[in-house]
Amino acid sequence: MTAAPLFDKIAVIGIGLIGSSIARAARKQGLARSIAVGDIREDHCAKALQLGLCETATTDLRQAVKGADLVLFCVPIGANAEVAEKTVPFLKAGAIVSDVGSVKQAVVRDIGPLLPEGVHFVPGHPIAGTEFSGPEAGFAELFQGRWCILTPPSGTDEAATAKLCAFWKGMGSLIEIMDPAHHDMVLAITSHLPHLIAYTIVGTATNLEESVKGEVIRYSASGFRDFTRIAASDPVMWRDVFLNNRDAVLEMLQRFTEDLTALQRAIRWGEGQVLEDLFTRTRAIRRGIIDAKQDS
């Protein structure tokens, strides 16, 4: 990049998988003149410095956000309010504050009212991740070709939203602007319910007798394995997702349970045509995903 960096200083609060991927990508693409990391875990700060992810890393979050033009909260959703409360008095006038949480209405509700006039709040959600956690788990290409959804509340400064768009585009993302409630409904079916189900079935397997458990691992290539990857995701992050997107998750879960009960009945009564019809319909969605180049 020969152009000037988008931001003079960015602060990444929480240097886990997503935070450290942002630091890596921003550095690689020259999007910030300097990167400050704030993380309440000392070992994370040390690791971030050791990996060369940032100029400074501190457990004092107030120090990290000082003078930053862009502040990114990359913490579990439930920690947002506390982080905001701690750092708000130290935010630079005109700074953009954003986050990366998988639920957006709760973030708007929790962070929005805490921010002073003149600080621009543009919540965000990169649709990207792996089952690994921590500062070492990140990589600069994580957002490449992946969607990032921004949900600016009505009245948000358009220049701030545009600048955050440019930042995510610079890291390789495709951008979508969305209403927070709509985001939470769409993610409930594409992400939250799949994770809940994966956690459940892996939990069901762990409750089997010890001897069978070994066989479940041994023969996991037959389908189960794909669920275990999802069910290895960060426990605290996912706890917070379910606690903060309760209504949309319960609604989708109800639909799922009704559909599962119908299939259960079809199996019990040997209704082969019901099964075959559904199994044929579900192939089309896979083709849609492959056509949309979101298949790997």
Measure the CA–CA gap between 151 and 183, rounded to whole angstroms.
8
Q: Which is nearer to a copy of itself, 65 or 230 (CB)?
A: 230
* Beta-ladder partners of 7: 32
Q: Which residue type is seen at 53?
A: L
Measure the CA–CA gap between 163 and 159, rounded to whole angstroms.
6
Q: Which is nearer to a copy of itself, 52 or 247 (CB)?
A: 247
Q: Which is nearer to a copy of itself, 115 or 202 (CB)?
A: 202
Q: How far is the CB of 100 from a copy of itself (least distance, A)?
A: 12
Q: How far is the CB of 235 from a copy of itself (least distance, A)?
A: 4
Measure the CA–CA gap between 255 and 262, rounded to whole angstroms.
11
Q: How far is the CB of 122 from a copy of itself (least distance, A)?
A: 19
Q: How far is the CB of 145 from a copy of itself (least distance, A)?
A: 9
Measure the CA–CA gap between 48 and 38, rounded to whole angstroms.
10
Q: Which is nearer to a copy of itself, 84 or 187 (CB)?
A: 187
CA angle, corner 40, sides to 152 and 192, nearest 5?
Answer: 45
Q: Which is nearer to a copy of itself, 81 or 263 (CB)?
A: 263
Task: Tell how strand 96-99 and strand 120-121 pair up.
Answer: parallel
Q: How far is the CB of 105 from a copy of itself (least distance, A)?
A: 16
Q: Which is nearer to a copy of itself, 7 or 199 (CB)?
A: 199
Q: Which is nearer to a copy of itself, 2 or 296 (CB)?
A: 296
Q: Which is nearer to a copy of itself, 56 or 130 (CB)?
A: 130
Q: How far is the CB of 143 from a copy of itself (least distance, A)?
A: 11
Q: How far is the CB of 123 from a copy of itself (least distance, A)?
A: 16
Q: How far is the CB of 109 from a copy of itself (least distance, A)?
A: 15
